[in-house]
Structure 1
Amino acid sequence: GFFGSLSDVFPFLGFYKRHYMSTATALGICSYITLTLLSTEFMRSAVVVVGFLLFLGQIQRAVVDMMADGKVSEFMVKEPAIKSDAVSFIAGVTYISMLVSLAAAVPLLKRNDGSGGRVGFIIAACGLTVLLYPILRGWLPEERVEKAKSNRVDWGKVRKHWKLFTIAVMTALAALGLGVVQAFADDWARLVYLLATGALLQVGGFWSLSRLQARVILVIFLVQVMYVPLSGAVDYWFTADETCVAGGPDFSMAYYVLVSRFIGTGALMLSVWIFQAFIAASWTFRSAFLFGIVLKSLGAIFDVVIVLRWNIAIGIPDQWWFVFGSSMLADIVNMFDYLPAMILMSRVTNPGLESTTLATLAGFWNYGSALARSLGTVLMRVSGIRTTAPCDFRSLPVLLLGGQVALPLALIPLIFWLIPHVKFDAPLESTVHPQQGREAGEEEEKRTVEHSDSAAGRAVGRLPTATTLGIPNPSLDEFSQADESEEDEETCTVGAGVNRSLNEVRDEEEEMEADEFEGSVASERCPKESFTSRPPSETTRRNGERCYFPPETLGLEGTPGAPPAVD
């Protein structure tokens, strides 16, 4: 929220996004190079320094991701027909990259001399160096602001949207406070802090955001909270040896991590294709959210089955059940949660404040996820689950059924109230706060008044004759071009309209002075002679339009009959 708000009101070096991205990327490069040069002994003794350097690397990821998502959101608000195309494309490319990085990580994990991590830092630094080129070259479309506005806070925007910036800062401060609580407090204190600040942020969201935006932050918050992660207990159960879990899977850590990641990443790519091809094409936001919730509950049943060992009873080995059940479905259901939420958040951002709005909405998503993880930790502790000898996983099936199967289904009634029942490319209700809407209306009215008082407005106002005659009002560009043109070839573009108009008014006005048409479009586009009332037999065409001309003006005086048409 902090970096998003800063980028929307403070154009750094002339741009709202470009040099925030380049600066964060440069810091990331420096942090990874520094980690490569540090000795193993120093890293072990200076954990705070290492943590700070890794934190800079995460800042780089967050800033670049947020700025790019803000630009995508800007396009989606302007062109709803984009639907999920941009989000799905970015997600697909991201997971392809993840698959490549996982393949590169396998040989690094097999190195026992500690050099694998250094090689990984070098690869990360090289990748970020490559990223600098498209950022500095301006591949992210963005216009440079005026020199007078560069490196200065736009206080007018801050005052106008102060409520949005307030909730964004509140979200950032709550996240910083959570870091402090996690470092110094126990699980119960962390849960109480998350519950209190989460409720406060929801109240602040309904106070500061539009009605649709407030409903969106509530639903994405609840979608995360009402699915209790139990990964700590589940991970231990899958990898525990025979002494801890008798007759359990007893997976090696390498198999459990690598296989689940490879299969999971492949499943993510498949889910992106399914979503883009079938769901985003014809479904509504509400249907997509409902489908994700139901699928999430069904996916959790696979973990319940393997923990209760029912898969062995029906003859399916743990490896197969894990690969095609828990590992694959877990990532698929997460993706069917993420994609509709990301698209909806992108569609409801405020114009000109995309980074701030999107960072704030995503902050509620992450805050709900943190609250759910904290709740899962407390529930595992209260239920008596033990991951060390003597191990105890007897309550794990009950927690899985309650926290991951039943609890998400309780959100279904709220989905019908909170999520709009419109397709992904359909217009949404106004995302602007009522006060902002009134201000926008006042600005539009002011611009209209200014336009009417301007020279251009007065120029258009001097066209009563053309309007009365039924001639379409030209644009100002055509008006200026007509004033400058003096060639007969260019002056007959609206002759047909003039003829129709003269036929209508000739009974009322027998004679019309040529000076009455000076300054009007009609007089400039057809010669004065063409305004003589003539029968249709004495007509000609010029530039594809019909004008009246006396025979003498065509050099045809005395010629019987109609003159030949000239195109």
Structure 2
Amino acid sequence: MSTQQDSPTPTTTTKKTKTPFLSILTEPIEWLSMLSHHLNPSFIAGIFLIYGIGQGFTGSLFKLVSDYYWKDIQKIQPSTVQLYVGIYFIPWILKPIWGILTDAFPILGYQRRPYFVIAGVIGMVSASIVALGGNIAAAAALMCFVGVSASLAIADVTIDACIARNSIEVPGLAPDLQSLCGFCSSSGALLGFLVSGFFVHHLGPQGSLGLMAVFPALTIVLGFVIYDKKTTGLHNEKKEGAMESIGMTIRSMYKTIKYPQAWKPSLYMLLSLSLNVTTHEGHFYWYTDAKAGPAFSQEFVGVIYAIGAVASILGVIIYHKYLKSYTFRNLVFYAQLLYATSGVLDLIFVLRWNLKIGIPDYIFVVIEETTVRITGKLRWMPMMVLSTKLCPIGIEGTFFALLMCIDSIGVLLSKWGGGLLLRFLHVTRSDFSKLWLAVLIRDILRFVTLVLVFLVPNVGPYEGLLPSDVCEMNKSDVNVDEETLELVPMNGNIEV
């Protein structure tokens, strides 16, 4: 095991002479072995479960199946579905509350395990009701979807607290951890999208929703097997009660967010996501329309999303191999520029200009989905790394949840903004004459976002962001001996 270093340095790897083919096979294994060596293996397994099976597989299955559920079972207009999607996204906005609970309210002496179990129970009950409840009302189905979303959000907050802590203790591994999360999420989404169309076709939307109970069951299992050190009575004595702990956490968060290094990038995340209004439901209804659209089948819609998941994996690989050492501001600017430019392909597709230049729908949609997903991932990855760098020790779970709450509010505003835009332009289940205008407005807003990049700090991922007094303040406020997941040796120079 590596020894303590005076200052953190980027992850390095010793050079070995290998054939290119052998390197492709061995490098991922060596990388995972390095992470498992320096981080607890149960923590790595938790990332695979929460990000891979949860956010990736279950999230992708939920996305496609719920779209068909609202369209074919409930027969809801696309603008209304867009607003519904925003509603069952609300649990993600409440992530600071889940973060405070996991940081300040241990259950039976355990700080993380019980919240995995709670998340699993909520998800199993919600998925089972909507799958087995028959022809339930739209409001009841919406509440069940909120429960499924809450299950994913609580599990995500719990594992994110551990990711933030690892990123603080070993800053050289911060980009690697985000790469692992992105890879797991995209790989799980790839599998989920590949099979979701098949399940919808053979089981129907409602029957397919029953599969979503699998992830919550595994989350419950994770809650019993993941390493979680039981806290002692001394912890409670130092905190002098849960309410004082909450007050201390809130005060620390307030002091931290007041620093320009923290509030400026937080404001950028909020504004950039809010301005990126989504017209997804309009596209989905148009994809499957036999008259105005290309009339893609259920299986092919799943394939389209699966291709997007592959593109997301490519985006993660590109970032991890070539871009992770660049400064945040430069990388975010060029990634946003590419993302805004790639959005023009949507406009070309909706206007059917691809047919005029001789490119069939099936080919063009692959080009469009691949380009948008790669650039979108390149735009997202540096902001996630930056978020982990902003978390002070001691309140890392709650503060990272706060940053993700800001992120979720931006996504919610983008979904509701897109829904209102579709409604204002009268894009319905059968009328897509103004869909091109909605896409044009969306693309213009993406370019407008470029003027906000000055809010992103012009530093690299291995440089400190917060003043040292913030870290010392939070270290002195918490019991640093209280480790909940076996984390890492305190070294910054990681070698394989």
Q: Structure 1 length normalisation: TM-score? A: 0.60
| Equivalent residue, structure 1, for 2:323 | 279
| Equivalent residue, structure 2, for 1:74 | 165
User: Structure 2: how far apart are the matches of 1:366 and 1:443?
Assistant: 28
Letter in 1 for 2:406: F
Give how far 1:344 is off.
Answer: 0.9
Contact 1:265 1:331 (C-alpha < 8 Å) held by counterparts: yes
Identical pairs, percent: 20
| Equivalent residue, structure 1, for 2:308 | 264
Contact 1:213 1:431 (C-alpha < 8 Å) held by counterparts: no
| Equivalent residue, structure 2, for 1:147 | 233
| Equivalent residue, structure 2, for 1:304 | 347
| Equivalent residue, structure 2, for 1:478 | none
Write the deviation string for residues 113-134 of structure 1: whole angstroms up to 9, x where unpaired.
Answer: x5x744652x443443334334
Letter in 2 for 1:344: L
Which runs of 5 or more structure 2 residues have no equivalent in the other structure? Answer: 1-95, 479-496
User: Structure 1: how far apart are the matches of 2:139 and 2:356?
Assistant: 50
Change (3 A) 1:118 1:352: same
User: Structure 1: how far apart are the matches of 2:448 and 2:142?
Assistant: 39
| Equivalent residue, structure 2, for 1:138 | 226
* Equivalent residue in structure 2 for 1:330, among 349, 372, 377: 372
| Equivalent residue, structure 2, for 1:111 | 202
For residues 517-556 of structure 1, the aligned pairs below 5 Å read: none
What is the DSSP-based 3-state SS (H/G/I as helix, E as strand, rest coil) of the residue aligned with 1:240? coil
* Equivalent residue in structure 2 for 1:231, among 269, 280, 294: 280
User: Structure 2: how far apart are the matches of 1:442 and 1:68?
Assistant: 24
* Equivalent residue in structure 1 for 2:152, among 32, 53, 61: 61
| Equivalent residue, structure 2, for 1:294 | 337
Change (3 A) 1:126 1:160: closer
Give how far 1:60 is off.
Answer: 1.9
Larger Rg: 1
Contact 1:239 1:250 (C-alpha < 8 Å) held by counterparts: yes
Change (3 A) 1:440 1:62: closer
Q: Does 1:128 align with 2:216?
A: yes
User: Structure 1: how far apart are the matches of 2:198 and 2:376?
Assistant: 28
Give how far 1:210 is off.
Answer: 2.7
Write the deviation string for residues 93-119 of structure 1: whole angstroms up to 9, x where unpaired.
Answer: 22222223334434422226x5x7446
Give how far 1:20 is off.
Answer: 1.5
| Equivalent residue, structure 2, for 1:536 | none
Change (3 A) 1:379 1:440: closer
User: Structure 1: how far apart are the matches of 2:124 and 2:226?
Assistant: 19
Contact 1:70 1:354 (C-alpha < 8 Å) held by counterparts: yes
Q: Does 1:401 align with 2:489?
A: no
| Equivalent residue, structure 2, for 1:22 | 117
User: Structure 2: how far apart are the matches of 1:237 and 1:262?
Assistant: 19
Write the deviation string for residues 432-475 of structure 1: whole angstroms up to 9, x where unpaired.
Answer: 66xx86x569989xxxxxxxxxxxxxxxxxxxxxxxxxxxxxxx
Greater relative CO (CA pairs within 8 A, separation 6+): 2
User: Structure 2: how far apart are the matches of 1:71 and 1:276?
Assistant: 21
Write the deviation string for residues 207-255 of structure 1: whole angstroms up to 9, x where unpaired.
Answer: 954322211210101111222222243334443333xx3xxx4223515
| Equivalent residue, structure 2, for 1:214 | 263
* Equivalent residue in structure 2 for 1:428, among 446, 465, 468: 465
Write the deviation string for residues 73-96 of structure 1: whole angstroms up to 9, x where unpaired.
Answer: 111112211131111112212222
User: Structure 1: how far apart are the matches of 2:427 and 2:477?
Assistant: 63
Give how far 1:67 is off.
Answer: 1.0
Contact 2:175 2:320 (C-alpha < 8 Å) held by counterparts: yes
| Equivalent residue, structure 1, for 2:64 | none
Write the deviation string for residues 264-301 of structure 1: whole angstroms up to 9, x where unpaired.
Answer: 11111111111111111x31111221122111111111
Change (3 A) 1:414 1:27: closer
User: Structure 2: how far apart are the matches of 1:33 and 1:301?
Assistant: 40
User: Structure 1: how far apart are the matches of 2:338 and 2:440?
Assistant: 14
**Number of matched residues?**
381
Letter in 2 for 1:271: G
* Equivalent residue in structure 1 for 2:414, among 372, 389, 409: 372
User: Structure 2: how far apart are the matches of 1:100 and 1:388?
Assistant: 29
Give how far 1:354 is off.
Answer: 1.5
Change (3 A) 1:78 1:31: same
Contact 2:100 2:397 (C-alpha < 8 Å) held by counterparts: yes
Letter in 2 for 1:12: I
Contact 2:308 2:370 (C-alpha < 8 Å) held by counterparts: yes
Write the deviation string for residues 311-340 of structure 1: whole angstroms up to 9, x where unpaired.
Answer: 223221122111112x22232232222211
Letter in 1 for 2:220: L
Q: Name the Cα RMSD after superposition.
A: 3.1
Letter in 1 for 2:342: G
Give how far 1:33 is off.
Answer: 4.6
User: Structure 1: how far apart are the matches of 2:278 and 2:208?
Assistant: 32
What is the DSSP-based 3-state SS (H/G/I as helix, E as strand, rest coil) of the residue aligned with 1:15? coil
User: Structure 1: how far apart are the matches of 2:240 and 2:229?
Assistant: 16
Change (3 A) 1:147 1:334: same
Contact 1:224 1:372 (C-alpha < 8 Å) held by counterparts: yes
Letter in 2 for 1:145: T
| Equivalent residue, structure 1, for 2:19 | none
| Equivalent residue, structure 1, for 2:136 | 44
User: Structure 1: how far apart are the matches of 2:476 and 2:136?
Assistant: 61
Point out the more displaced range, 335-344 or 72-81.
335-344
Contact 2:394 2:474 (C-alpha < 8 Å) held by counterparts: no
Contact 1:77 1:348 (C-alpha < 8 Å) held by counterparts: no
Q: Structure 2 length normalisation: TM-score? A: 0.68
| Equivalent residue, structure 2, for 1:339 | 381
